[in-house]
Amino acid sequence: MSDKRTSPLVLDAMIVTGNTKAAVKAAGGGSSDLWTVPPEHIHYDPRDNVRPLNKERVRKIADLIKANGYDRKKPLGCFVRKVGGEDRIFVYEGQHRYHGALLAISEGYEIDRLPLVIDEAKSVTRANLIYAGVINNDSEKLTPLQLAEQIVELQALGEDNKTICARLNITDQTIRDCLLLANAPAAIHKLVREQAVTSTLAIEQIRAHGPEKALDRLQRGIEAAKATGKAKATKKHVEAASAAPAVLAPKRINDAQAKQLLQALQAVLHDPLFGKLSPGTINAVHVALSPLADLLDSKPAATAKYPINTPNEHGVYTHETISAPRLKSRNNAPAPASIHLAQVEIGKWIFSTSYDMGTGSGSSPVMLGDTTEIFPTRGQAILGGVRHLTRRLQDPRLGQTKEAPGVRKWLDKLYAAPDPDWTEELASARKEPITVPAALWPFPTGGKP
């Protein structure tokens, strides 16, 4: 007896293939811009692709190609670049398919030609490549950190936030969140790239607690996650670890603490004013360190107290950030203004700035370019940032915001701060005096108004 709750399986009719040219002609279609090119004549530059190459994904695609052949319905997106007077085809969309095909070929699979579509030369710009790269990765969305890197580069190319929002179909809040993450400490970027935390959790913690405290909370959350056998920290791990009471320091000095004490005592020994300490203190330091002479480092150079920063694959340097205080009413908002500093070589400093005031926001990457100004000390780079932000405040859209008075007060403080690394030699080598642009607020003169 049949079960009325079931119905017989109806199979689709067998596909009967037709004539491609006849179908296109009948539909009123024309010839396409599809080209086929030998793989060895297609070139690749990682800077043309918004996403870093994933070797595991390349391996998977290569195996699929070897099992099923290359899917010609998925051509590569390319453009033509002049290199040494020669026209060369570069792939900017479908880099994983391209590298998967190359890997399959290297392992004996034969592919004579790869299908590709070449953009018209008039449409090829760096900004358009970035927009296309972000949009075409929508099926496998970029992480907020990857998107932030592209937004920073678009801003550096002169694209305004309104255009970026329209072309990427994102909101101003998304841009603010991405820039918040882009300007976070490099250690947070590392945690995100290693997938120890999500970009969303990092942004949430930075917005709520500021970059430095957020880093500490995230690191404690990761340790809590590892203790439970998890590789990635969630919000629950972070909140639980932050709420837990601090672990009391052990009564005995461990190896790490002993090393810190030795380094601290060594810093005292190398201090320029060490000789002005009392005789008893000098003798106590010598007695303590003499048996450990072989463990001591040589006297550090004067500029070695600042690290050398390094660029990522996009040329953006790791950096230090100093920020203006937030309004009490916007304590969870991004800093209204920040100066980002990087020492690219000993005695060579660069800066960039970012701001989020009223409805206006902007950021520039910390990177070297043809017009990048280089400063001999950290203090002079800070003054460069002060001058740049002062000019930005001349725009009424920023200068008349609620945040502006606090930012001006912060800039005044930075401008008046001494430069501990400034020397007579640097002063005599400077050709022009350091100036600050005309401020929007009156400096006190001591006279009557």
Task: Check which CATH number belongs to the domain holding 60 and give it.
Answer: 3.90.1530.10
In a domain, 312, yes or no: no
Residues 334 and 388 in one domain: yes
In a domain, 2, yes or no: no
Residues 329 and 228 in one domain: no
Structural domain ending residue among the three candidates 75, 99, 124: 124
In a domain, 434, yes or no: no
In a domain, 226, yes or no: yes
**Eight-class DSSP state of 50:** S
Residues 425 and 342 in one domain: yes
Residues 270 and 231 in one domain: no
Structural domain ending residue among the three candidates 90, 124, 158: 124
Residues 380 and 326 in one domain: yes
pTM more than 0.75: no
Q: Domain of 193?
A: 184-243
pLDDT (average), residues 7-16: 47
How many distinct structural domains can be found in the chain? 4
In a domain, 173, yes or no: no
In a domain, 405, yes or no: yes
Residues 262 and 238 in one domain: no
Question: Cβ contacts of residue 153 below 8 Å, gap of 6+?
Answer: 126, 130, 314, 365
Residues 114 and 42 in one domain: yes
Residues 262 and 209 in one domain: no
Query: pLDDT at position 330, please?
Result: 66
Residues 195 and 285 in one domain: no
In a domain, 303, yes or no: no
The pLDDT tens digits of the residues spanning 132-170 come to 677 665 445 677 887 887 788 788 778 888 888 887 778
pLDDT (average), residues 40-47: 85
Structural domain ending residue among the three candidates 124, 146, 175: 124
At CB < 8 A and 24+ separation, what contacts does 31-35 make?
Answer: 33/117, 33/118, 34/75, 34/115, 34/116, 34/117, 35/115, 35/116, 35/117, 35/118
User: Measuring CA to CA, how many Å separate 262 from each of 256, 307, 332?
Assistant: 10, 21, 40
The pLDDT tens digits of the residues spanning 242-287 come to 776 555 445 677 776 777 777 777 777 766 566 667 777 877 777 7
Four-CA torsion 122, 125, 127, 129, nearest 10 degrees? 90
Choose from 19-28, 56-65, 159-168 the range with maximum mean pLDDT.
56-65
For 350, the token pair is 């660069």
Residues 46 and 83 in one domain: yes
Residues 116 and 209 in one domain: no
In a domain, 106, yes or no: yes
Residues 264 and 239 in one domain: no
